[in-house]
Amino acid sequence: MKITIVAILIFILNIPFGYWRANVKKLSLQWFLSIHIPIPFVVFLRIVSKIGFALYSYPLFIVAFFGGQYLGKIIFQHLKLKKD
């Protein structure tokens, strides 16, 4: 149960960063920051939840991380198309 809650939090945390990433030039400083700024928060969530860095948690958290980034990108594209 705890691992699911942390995965959902990671997913939600990454949505705004994915939105930001979709709005900047690929491989620019802002692009790299949009991917790397959430990482300390993910580490913090792992420590606070006492999940730690168990190998079994990596696949779920990686999917949650990039899933949130992807949803942020989709939201940006949707709103951009709506505006045009």
Give this prediction's pTM.
0.91
In this prediction, residue 1 carries a pLDDT of: 85
The 3-state secondary structure of the chain reads: CHHHHHHHHHHHHHHHHHHHHHCCCCCCHHHHHHHHCHHHHHHHHHHHCCCCCCCCHHHHHHHHHHHHHHHHHHHHHHHHHHHC
* Mean pLDDT of each 10-residue bin along the chain, 84 residues long: 95 98 96 97 95 92 98 96 82
In this prediction, residue 45 carries a pLDDT of: 95
